């Protein structure tokens, strides 16, 4: 069994943050989104992993993620020269996949569930395809499935104007090698891409064994700012525990579940968890409120934040209104705001500088 993680694409919904970097490397609770998927795959016992990368951000993904040894895996990088669809990514990866069954995992997705029970169903029933489904309120924004009472998939439609159900396809799929022949038989969609939904539909049309499982836990597609903040909140809520030995100076206060990296200084500040703060940062005269993630080498002086993600190297100095629901990019600078009565909301890309 192998795994294929898709980490290409342009990340247009997370711009300006992704003008300069891969959306799959944006951190949630100070860990790249992509790494959660790798860890989940390795936990299911699959260690031979291919990662599909794009020309624009592939080198950054490779440099950050490495050869897989930190995860107990072997990673092979596969270049997709253009964003021509999910099925096209599988086609490009065919030399890596060979005749092995595989999990396909979209690298900007996060799920609560372990992959083990789904993998067991896929293998025990010798399926050609297993998809994961989740009810959503806006099915027209997703690939949508129609299934019978036994879980057998009858029809898949990509972003339909009139959805046949409210069951959206989660970005995790299990495939037998028969998917390759199905991909060879489909044509590009009206948007010019080879759609994985069309390939799965081709399996269904050929009477192959394609079934679905409902995903019970949370599922997050982190393609937009609010989704990213929601993911950060959920991960902090469910996976962050208080550090056992936090040492801060006497004028500072740590409340609740807080993790602070080595070399970070907390000076005359209050940190109320759940919060994670990276290494070698300086927090002075600040309030850091719940559901905040602060990266490495961040400087915050005279500022209050909550429910925000601050990436490494950012500087926030002299902001006298509370910053909420914000994403501040790497090395961005937010400096010197006069007092105003309202909260501020930002999404600031890497290397930006804003003076208010």
Read out DSSP for 112-125? SS-SHHHHHHHHHT
* Angle at alpha carbon of residue 218, lines to 214 and 219, rounded to 5°: 80
Residue indicated by tokens 């929601």: 230
What is the model's pLDDT at position 56? 85
Lowest mean pLDDT among 13-17, 262-266, 302-306, 310-314: 13-17
The tally of CA atoms less than 13 A away on the side-chain side of residue 300 is 34
Q: What is the pLDDT of residue 15?
A: 46
Give me the residues paired with residue 303 across strands.
286
Spans of all domains in the chain: 2-234, 243-355
pLDDT score, position 323: 92
Residue 257 and residue 240: Cα distance in Å, rounded? 7
> Does the 2-234 domain belong in CATH 3.80.30.20?
no
Tell me what pLDDT residue 93 has.
97
Q: Give pTM, 2 decimals.
A: 0.87
**Residues 228/346, Cβ–Cβ less than 8 Å:** no
- DSSP output for 17-34: GGGSS-GGGSEETTEEHH
Residue 269's CB: how many other CB atoms inside 10 A? Answer: 23
C-alpha torsion angle, residues 287, 292, 295, 301 (rounded to 10) = -20
CA atoms within 13 Å, Cβ hemisphere of 99: 0
Sign for the pseudo-dihedral over CA of 329, 353, 313, 271: negative
pLDDT at residue 343 is higher than 90: no
Best CA proximity match to 169, nearest among 105, 85, 119, 81: 105
> Given this model, what pLDDT does residue 191 score?
83
Distance CA 304, CA 294 (A): 12
CA distance 34 to 13: 17
Q: Is the pLDDT of residue 128 over 80?
A: yes
- At residue 261, the pLDDT reads 92
Alpha-carbon distance values, 157 to 101, 164, 195, 196 (Å): 24, 8, 10, 10
Region for residue 264 given its phi and psi (left: phi exceeds 0; alpha: psi -120 to 50; beta: otherwise): beta
As a residue count, the chain comes to 356
Confidence of residue 13 (pLDDT cuts 50, 70, 90): very low
**Interatomic CA distance for residues 256 and 266, integer angstroms:** 15
Mean pLDDT of 324-346: 76
Query: How large is the average pLDDT for residues 164-189?
Result: 94
19 has a pLDDT exceeding 60: no
Mean pLDDT for the stretch of residues 324-351? 74
Render pLDDT for 116-126 as a digit per residue (tens, 0 to 9): 999 999 999 99
Among candidate residues 214, 184, 205, the one with its CA nearest the CA of residue 87: 184
Dig out the tokens for 149 from the structure. Answer: 């009472």
Q: pLDDT digits over 245-296, tens only?
A: 677 788 899 999 999 999 999 999 999 999 999 999 999 999 999 999 999 9
Confidence band (pLDDT; 50, 70, 90) for 21? low
Query: What mean pLDDT is reported for the chain?
Result: 88
Which DSSP state fits 78?
E
- Tell which CATH architecture fits domain 243-355: 3 Solenoid (2.160)
Q: Assess contact for 57 and 43: CB atoms under 8 A.
A: no
| Mean pLDDT, range 78-100, rounded to an integer | 94
Residue 255 · residue 271 · CB < 8 Å: yes
The per-residue pLDDT for 334 is 87
In this predicted model, what pLDDT tens digit does every residue of 54-83 receive, in sequence order?
A: 998 899 899 999 999 999 999 999 999 988
**pLDDT reported for residue 347:** 66
- Model confidence pLDDT, tens digit, residues 198-253: 999 999 999 999 999 999 888 887 767 788 898 899 999 988 887 766 777 888 99
- Model pLDDT, residue 181: 96
User: Distance between CA atoms of 254 and 146, rounded to whole angstroms?
Assistant: 50
Residue 304 carries which DSSP code?
Answer: E
Bigger pLDDT: 284 or 342? 284
Helix (H) or strand (E) holding 199: helix 196-205
């Amino acid at each position: 069994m192998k795994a294929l993680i898709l980490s290409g694409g342009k990340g247009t919904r997370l711009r300006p943050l992704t003008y300069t970097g891969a959306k799959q490397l944006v951190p949630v609770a100070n860990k790249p989104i992509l790494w959660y998927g790798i860890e989940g795959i390795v936990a299911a016992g699959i260690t031979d992993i291919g990662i599909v990368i794009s020309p624009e951000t592939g080198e950054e993904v490779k440099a950050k993620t490495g050869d897989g040894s930190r995860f107990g895996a072997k990673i092979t990088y596969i270049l997709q020269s253009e964003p021509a669809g999910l099925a096209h990514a599988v086609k490009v990866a065919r030399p890596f996949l060979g005749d092995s069954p595989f999990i396909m995992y979209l690298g900007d997705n996060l799920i609560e569930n372990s992959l083990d029970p789904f993998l067991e169903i896929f293998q025990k029933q010798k399926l050609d395809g297993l998809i994961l489904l989740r009810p959503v309120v806006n099915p027209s924004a997703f690939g949508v499935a129609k299934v019978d009472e036994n879980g057998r998939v009858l029809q898949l439609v990509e972003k339909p104007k009139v959805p046949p159900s409210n069951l959206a396809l989660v970005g995790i799929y299990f495939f037998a090698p028969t998917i390759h022949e199905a991909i060879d038989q489909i044509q590009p969609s009206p948007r010019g891409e080879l759609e994985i939904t069309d390939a799965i539909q081709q399996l269904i049309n050929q009477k192959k064994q394609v079934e679905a499982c409902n995903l019970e836990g949370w599922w997050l597609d982190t393609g937009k700012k609010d989704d990213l903040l929601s993911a950060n909140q959920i991960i902090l809520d469910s996976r962050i525990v208080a550090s056992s030995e936090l040492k801060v100076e006497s004028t500072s206060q740590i409340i609740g579940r807080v993790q602070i990296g080595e070399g970070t200084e907390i000076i005359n500040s209050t940190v109320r968890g759940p919060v994670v703060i990276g290494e070698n940062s300086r927090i002075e005269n600040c309030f850091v409120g719940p559901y905040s993630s602060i990266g490495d080498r961040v400087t915050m002086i005279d500022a209050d934040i909550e429910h925000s993600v601050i990436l490494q190297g950012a500087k926030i100095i002299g902001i006298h209104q509370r910053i909420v629901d914000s994403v501040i990019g790497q090395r961005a600078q937010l400096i010197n705001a006069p007092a105003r009565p309202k909260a501020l909301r930002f999404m600031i890309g890497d290397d930006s500088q804003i003076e208010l």
